[in-house]
């Protein structure tokens, strides 16, 4: 469902009713049944035979566009219920609508988003966010962190873990036998041989060397612009970006990227947009990114 004060329920409901989704899988809507029925009525849609996995919710008072502790609890409850279903093999995968980090915090959760919540719930070890858009596949080394903290979070082990997860995903889901991954530098021009920063020399380059010695076909560090160009030209199969905006800004400008969480014991995807509180409950949200997230989840689960 995502955060019920945002566009999550609208895009999830419209995706579940999309004919392409119906041909690819049997969708299950997860969240309070009363809310799904209320949204269907508000958007003049018929639920028909769509399955609903109901989660308990006491009397609710949802205000469109206004996140709260209650909307955070509902959003997290739907994520957790979906994960339990996936762990029990009751579903083949999950596609999550956007949630609010503020609402999660108000609800008492210390995890900042889906990825952190699911990783802790599953106890599955290192996880990573990969965004896929055509030829571009970008994994993030760090995710929802203040930019000032990023240099201190970049370690050799972190880079090796993300490279290993990325290589495994490319082999498993895209049938690339020996995927080549370009590792982006943290600093402009990949540090310019230490003139613009030394993280590339002391951390990133040694991590890439070690990963290569362990069988990962990685190169770098390279500048961000060179890395994206090499991926678009098919010279590399994926990129490892050091921080959120470095990896996602180009993808979101191009549009159409879908997030895949690597390292979980089940498939999980999501669209690359937020809760869009300003257009919540106004029947204005574009469901296509959510449709693509569901279709990707179905396709990956099939592999």
H-run or E-run covering 244? helix 244-254
Per-residue b or e along 67-101, where b marks 16 or more CB atoms closer than 10 Å to that residue's CB: bbebbbbbbbbbbebbbebbeeeebbbbbbbbbbb
First to last CA, the chain: 25
Please give the Cα distance from 241 to 143 (Å, whole number).
10
- The per-residue pLDDT for 56 is 87
Query: For every one of its 303 residues, what pLDDT tens digit does the chain have, with 9 covering 90 and above?
Result: 999 999 999 999 999 999 999 999 999 999 999 999 999 999 999 998 999 999 988 778 899 999 999 999 999 999 999 999 999 999 999 999 999 999 999 999 988 788 888 988 888 788 999 999 888 999 999 988 899 999 999 999 999 999 999 999 999 999 999 999 999 999 999 988 888 999 999 999 999 999 999 999 999 999 999 999 999 999 999 999 999 999 998 888 877 789 999 999 999 999 988 999 999 999 999 999 999 999 999 999 987
- The per-residue pLDDT for 20 is 97
70, 35 Cβ separation under 8 angstroms? no
Q: Give strand pairing partners of 217.
A: 180
8, 98 Cβ separation under 8 angstroms? yes
- The per-residue pLDDT for 232 is 92
Q: Is the peptide bond before 221 cis (omega within 30 degrees of 0)?
A: yes
- The per-residue pLDDT for 28 is 97
Which two structure tokens, joined as six digits, stand for 231? Answer: 């991926």
pTM of the model: 0.90
285, 10 Cβ separation under 8 angstroms? yes
H-run or E-run covering 130? strand 128-133
- The per-residue pLDDT for 123 is 86
- The per-residue pLDDT for 134 is 85
Please give the Cα distance from 228 to 211 (Å, whole number).
21
Distance of CA 254 to the CA centre of its chain: 17
What are the structural domains of the chain?
1-123+269-303 (3.40.718.10), 125-263 (3.40.718.10)
Q: Is the alpha carbon torsion for 274, 116, 183, 170 positive or negative?
A: negative
In terms of Cα–Cα distance, which of 92, 78, 64 is closest to 12?
Answer: 78
């Amino acid at each position: 469902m995502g955060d019920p004060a945002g566009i999550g329920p609208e895009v999830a409901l419209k995706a579940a009713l999309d004919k392409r989704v119906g041909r690819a899988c049997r969708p299950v809507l997860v969240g309070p049944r009363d809310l799904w029925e209320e949204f269907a009525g508000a958007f003049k849609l018929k639920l028909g035979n769509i399955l609903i996995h109901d989660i308990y919710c006491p009397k609710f008072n949802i205000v469109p566009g206004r996140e709260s502790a209650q909307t955070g609890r509902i959003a997290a409850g739907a994520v957790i219920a979906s994960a339990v279903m996936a762990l029990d093999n009751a579903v083949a995968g999950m596609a999550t609508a956007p949630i609010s980090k503020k609402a999660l915090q108000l609800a008492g959760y210390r995890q900042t988003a889906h990825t952190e919540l699911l990783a802790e719930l599953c106890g599955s070890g290192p996880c990573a966010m990969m965004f896929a858009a055509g030829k571009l596949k970008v994994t993030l080394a760090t995710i929802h962190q203040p930019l000032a903290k990023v240099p201190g979070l970049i370690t050799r082990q972190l880079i090796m873990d993300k490279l290993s997860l990325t290589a495994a995903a490319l082999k498993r889901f895209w049938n690339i036998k020996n995927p080549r991954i370009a590792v982006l530098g943290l600093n402009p021009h990949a540090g310019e041989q230490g003139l613009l920063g030394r993280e590339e020399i002391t951390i990133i380059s040694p991590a890439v060397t070690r990963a290569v010695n362990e069988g990962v076909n990685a190169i770098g560090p390279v500048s961000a612009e060179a890395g994206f160009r090499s991926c678009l030209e098919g010279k590399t199969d994926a990129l490892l970006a050091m921080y959120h905006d470095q990896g996602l800004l180009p993808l979101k400008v191009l549009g159409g990227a879908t997030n895949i969480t690597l390292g979980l014991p089940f498939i999980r995807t999501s669209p690359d947009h937020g809760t869009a509180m300003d257009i919540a409950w106004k029947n204005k949200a574009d469901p296509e990114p959510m449709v693509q997230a569901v279709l990707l989840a179905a396709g990956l689960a099939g592999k």
